[in-house]
Amino acid sequence: MKVLFYTPQSDTAAWLRDLSHALPDVDLREWQPGDDAPADVAVVWRPPREMLAGRNDLRAIFNLGAGVDAILALEREHPGTLPRGAQLVRLEDTGMAQQMAEYVTHAVLRYMRRFDEYDLLQKQQRWHVLDPHPRETFTVGVLGLGVLGSHVAQTLVSLGFPVRGFSRGARQVEGVETFAGDAEFDAFLDGVKVLVNLLPHTPETHGVLNKASLSKLARGAYLVNIARGAHLIEQDLLDALDEGQIAAATLDVFVHEPLPSQHPFWKHPRIAITPHISALTLREESVVQIAQKIGALKRGEAIGGIVDIARGY
């Protein structure tokens, strides 16, 4: 089996080394411009169009991440980029769920205990005790109940928070009040105190965090976005913060990354920024999963993580 590898990041050599150790019986090579030699599988992160277009010999394309929106955007912009018959496969967890649960738990506890406000008081050199928000009414709404979202939701349940979850199709998650489909979206949002976004980015979810959706949350709600920057209408968040509808926001993802130095988010006192680190791709765990799935393909076995191209995840 011939495997192509590509990432624009600087750790290509480490990936190739680990994949070679995990897949000693495959012919593994790094893709370079002009390489049109036969290949059965591609392992990629943000590949250029010319790497994939016309490669109808590919059986599968493994994406080095859970989100495949960059590849699907390439296909929408240049139809025919994805080879006919090639399965698009995303990573399934590989340590990301635990990282995201830690990130969200930190943000939710920070807001519930009002540590964000204590940070402001410290800058003012003010000694002032604030009552924490009542846990029993500090409802957390998780947008997206896939593998990652479900784990985040159940982690919050274990801490005693009332948790709601929203997904496109009906799902059941123990301890979580679930809502599904457009007809139940407003009911899901109504009264939520912390909205956590873990949705996949698709044309249907683009801009879902907007004036209308933010206005349906509890007055003085909080926003945590760890999915994609394109989910958020940035000016609508700034307006909601100015109006007091949103009390504060924790943002890990942005429309433009790195976030431009002059962007108003940087200096906003009620916005906390992290540089897209809520869940880093862990190479060791990812290599194990990819190697197992490539082995299954060689044996003609079914694999998980196959993306429904029409749905976008």
Amino acid symbol at 102: E
Backbone angles phi, psi at 89, to 5 degrees: -125, 130
228: annotated active-site residue = yes
Residues 6+ apart with CB under 8 A from 262: none
Asked if residue 67 lies in contact with residue 305, where contact means CB atoms within 8 angstroms, the answer is: no
Asked if residue 30 lies in contact with residue 49, where contact means CB atoms within 8 angstroms, the answer is: no
Alpha-helix runs per DSSP H in 23-87:
49-52, 69-77
Spatial distance between the Cα atoms of 67 and 144, rounded to a whole number of angstroms:
13
Say which of 201, 228, 268, 299 is annotated catalytic. Answer: 228
201: annotated active-site residue = no
Take residue 98 and report the two structure tokens written for it.
């635990």
| Token pair 């679930």: residue | 178
Annotate 193-218 with b (16+ C-beta within 10 A) or e (fewer): bbbbbbbbbbeebeebbbeebbebbb
For the chain, how far is it from start to end, CA to CA, in angstroms? 26
Spatial distance between the Cα atoms of 310 and 127, rounded to a whole number of angstroms:
55
Cα Rg, the chain, nearest whole Å = 21
With H, G, I as helix, E, B as strand and everything else as coil, classify residue 32: coil
Spatial distance between the Cα atoms of 148 and 167, rounded to a whole number of angstroms:
12
Say which of 49, 133, 276, 283 is annotated catalytic. Answer: 276
Spatial distance between the Cα atoms of 39 and 95, rounded to a whole number of angstroms:
29
Find the length of the chain: 313
Spatial distance between the Cα atoms of 54 and 1, rounded to a whole number of angstroms:
19
Amino acid symbol at 28: L
Q: Among all residues, which ones are annotated catalytic?
A: 228, 276
